[in-house]
Amino acid sequence: MSLVLIELGVIFLGLGLLGRLAARFGMSPVPLYLLGGLLFGNGGAIPLVGIEEFGVITSEIGVILLLLMLGLEYSARELVTGLKRSWLAGLMDLVLNFTPGAALAIILGWGFTGALVMGGVTYISSSGIVAKVLSDLGRLGNRETPVVLSVLVLEDLVMAVYLPILTATLAGLSFFGGLRAVGIALLVITLVLLVALRFGPQISRLIHSNDRENFLLKLIGAALFVAGVASALQVSAAVGAFLLGIAISGSTAHSAAKVLEPLRDLFAAMFFVLFGLNTDPRTIPPVLLLAVLLAIVTSLTKVATGVWAAKRVGIGLPGQLRAGAALIARGEFSIVIAGLAVASGAVNEKLAALATAYVLLLAVFGPIATRFVEPLTRPWVARQQRKPAPPVMP
């Protein structure tokens, strides 16, 4: 017990220092958390022992809180509206960004399961990193920001369907067993959305409390209970938490986000560290070139997605490029997908190393590209402003 407490103390202190370092450079702490896990994990410089059970439980809670907080950002009505308005952009996003990862897995001989996992890893942008960068850069009020948020919302909706399919596949269910699991998942998702649309205010009142301690206990209890029930129904526990977040609306959702944020950050940090601990850093150099190539390809496909989606609503080229660059970052959910696959033991062991290197690259490059794409477009804007106005016909 003494050794476990010392190791946990070192981990939490280290996470705090890494987070401070990331904040100083204006970047997401996710890549540094992954690097910390690689340093102290299997094959690292100083392997830690004795914290496996604690790490597994806390990392699972971290995933649940990540998805719960994501669900709190949207109401069921907003999700339905966003789907109606931007489904075409979401479809293009799925095709352009799922395909590279899936194709690489097939080329490497990882089969259908590997392709399903890697497609998900390369598909979904990091909502947390994107939101933080846009806020830090003061772009939340820009014309292209609603386009970016619509794409992110649609990705979250796709995840609500994708994760149950992935869970069924990783469990090795038969075709009909997988079909049954997916059908149950879709039924549960549909029912929850309908309940959220009809009874959202009542659910919010049930959970809400003016007493902070009581509010937190009910919120965490509800999240873990719903996640457990979802898992028992072969729907991802994380999806269950996401759907609960959608059902909570109004001022209750705002208060819940404020109360949960420190806990989310703590447990999510443990999730990233555990993923790094379980990845042997010696397996990364052989796949580093593949990770770089994949990062380049999927950066371009994300930019193409943002440019196309912004152009459809009449936004100029600078805004189009800002929208595309904002979507480049991958992070927490790519690691969640890879973590589920690695924990199941149903995928090639190199997948964890490839996913880690890929996320490390884009979690760093995405914010940098978002920050500097605007200065790169300034000459174009200046040239447009210098162009003489077309003559007015009499």
Quick check: 392 pLDDT over 60? no
In this structure, is residue 382 part of a structural domain?
no
- The two tokens of residue 217 are 């206990």
Per-residue pLDDT tens for 324-381? 999 998 877 788 888 878 777 778 778 888 988 898 888 888 888 888 887 776 676 5
In this structure, is residue 22 part of a structural domain?
no
Give the Cα separation of 368 and 348 in Å (integer).
31
Query: Closest Cα partner for 178 from 101, 116, 105, 106?
Result: 116
Give the Cα separation of 275 and 339 in Å (integer).
7
> 0.75 cut: is pTM over it?
no
- At which residue do the structure tokens 């690489």 appear? 104
Give the Cα separation of 381 and 318 in Å (integer).
7
Average pLDDT for the chain: 79
Q: How many domains does the chain contain in total? A: 1
Quick check: 277 pLDDT over 80? no
Quick check: 289 pLDDT over 80? yes
Contact 98, 118 (CB under 8 A): no
By percentage, how much of the chain surpasses pLDDT 90? Answer: 14
Per-residue pLDDT tens for 163-214? 778 877 887 766 566 667 667 767 777 777 777 777 777 888 888 888 888 8
CATH assignment at residue 358: 1.20.1530.20
By percentage, how much of the chain surpasses pLDDT 70? Answer: 81
In this structure, is residue 290 part of a structural domain?
yes
In this structure, is residue 45 part of a structural domain?
yes
- At which residue do the structure tokens 């028992």 appear? 232
For 365, the domain range is: 32-374
In this structure, is residue 383 part of a structural domain?
no
In this structure, is residue 40 part of a structural domain?
yes
In this structure, is residue 24 part of a structural domain?
no
pLDDT of res. 325: 92
Average pLDDT over residues 73-95: 75
Tell me if residue 369 falls in helix, strand or coil: helix
- The two tokens of residue 61 are 């809670």
Most confident of 120-124, 137-141, 208-212, 283-287: 120-124
pLDDT of res. 79: 64
pLDDT of res. 269: 79
In this structure, is residue 26 part of a structural domain?
no
Quick check: 388 pLDDT over 70? no
More confident residue, 98 or 46: 98
Average pLDDT over residues 24-47: 71
